[in-house]
Structure 1
Amino acid sequence: MLSSMSKSLLWRGLLAVVIGVVSVAWPNVTVGALVILFAVYAFIAGAASAARAFASRSAGPVVGYLLLALLDVVAGIAALAWPNITALVLTIWIAAWAFVSGIIEVAMAFRHGEDAGERAMWALTGLVSIALGVVLAIRPDIGAVSLATVFGLFSIVYGISTVVLSAQLRKAGSTAQPLANPVS
């Protein structure tokens, strides 16, 4: 069992490193891939909404689901037709999300019952999220490429740590094997 888990972690780590290297080396390709993934998601969501429309027994939900399906398909087509604008909008959406979640995290730092360390951590992560949101909102054109690069760096670090974890798990498994099967 530990051997298969170790192999799984090894392959996951190696894949993360490869994706990270590609993201850092070609951030524009990564942004393009994100836009294509968004379009694919929109098409799948549209198909699911259309399927729900025809699975409904009353007319009210049918119209609503068909409108949602149409909106999803239009969003997918728009993403493929205008990938630069789509990347810009996705970056602005991430900026808004980071800004709002940062404000909530800073507010959580002032909850009652938290110790000083937890308050500082909530405040710090909130301020970092707010800063990310502001920076992305100021320059979303550069922000999309920067996000791809940061994602790539994160993937590389995650991949390396997963490969190391795989090696540690393999070592622990080989150490535990003689204990599990003692010689009589």
Structure 2
Amino acid sequence: MMFLARNWWVFLLRGVFALVFGIAAISFPASAFLSLVLIFGAFALVDGIFALISAFRSEARTENWWWIILEGLLGIVVGLITLIQPASMAQAMILIIAIWAFVSGVFKIVTAIQLRKLIVGEFWMILGGIFSILFGVLVAADPIGGAFAVGFIIGIYAVLFGVTMVALSLRLRTHNARHSAA
């Protein structure tokens, strides 16, 4: 995977872009959700482009190479759809998030009940399931409030993703420097 190390800067750009996006989302949660959707569309599009650059700049076509291409294509498609149809995508995103949170909560509770005989402390998983169900119901009942909450959560995710990408890029840069000098 030396091609990843040689292209460490792509991960750095992805991380910096994610950090900027995340900080903006956290700083302005009361702004229109539609604006956040547009920013997300731009983020997905740019991230997809950088993923494709990373894949096509690689000299070695390993078995994992096509996953990076798929990730890039998915980002580009989602980004373009979001930028072309932002209102529809905003409604769809809120509905999908509400359904996902509800179903995920049910699965957490069912899994915790099944794990009751194997582990102690399954209560925490049940509590997490209850929170997920409540979040899903609240988002479905109040999509505008849900949009603000989702905007904040997306911001936190983007910041965490950005930090991990920057950290990875620095590790890859160090690895590249060691192996390029040798």
User: TM-score, structure 2 length as denominator?
Assistant: 0.56
After superposing the two structures, state which structure 1 stretch, 145-154 or 15-24, moved more: 15-24
Identity %: 26
- Structure 2 SS opposite 1:110: helix
Q: How does 1:23-172 map to 2 (within 5 A)?
A: 23-26=25-28, 27-28=31-32, 29-31=35-37, 83=87, 87-88=90-91, 90-111=93-114, 115-116=118-119, 119=122, 122-172=125-175
Asked if the contact 2:5/2:175 (under 8 Å) is kept, the reply is no
Which position in structure 1 is the counterpart of 2:16?
A: 14
Shift of residue 137, structure 1, vs aligned partner: 3.0
Distance 2:130 2:151 in 1: 21
- Structure 1 SS opposite 2:113: coil
- Matched residue type, 1:170: R
Any gaps of 5 or more consecutive residues in structure 2? 43-80
Distance 1:5 1:127 in 2: 43
- Structure 2 SS opposite 1:109: helix
Describe the superposition over 1:77-133 as per-residue Cα deviations: whole angstroms up to 9, x where unpaired: xx95x93x8745642442232112211221011225973268456434423312321
Describe the superposition over 1:1-39 as per-residue Cα deviations: whole angstroms up to 9, x where unpaired: 253242222121112112223433454211356699xxx
Cα 1:30–1:5 shift into 2, 3 Å: same
User: TM-score, structure 1 length as denominator?
Assistant: 0.56
- Greater Cα radius of gyration, structure 1 or 2: 1
Cα 1:159–1:89 shift into 2, 3 Å: closer
Shift of residue 159, structure 1, vs aligned partner: 0.3
Give the superposed CA RMSD.
Answer: 3.6
Out of 169, 173, 177, the residue aligned to residue 174 of structure 1 is 177
- Matched residue type, 1:162: M
- Matched residue type, 1:17: L
Which position in structure 2 is the counterpart of 1:67?
A: none
Aligned residues: 136
Which position in structure 1 is the counterpart of 2:5?
A: 3
Distance 1:158 1:103 in 2: 27
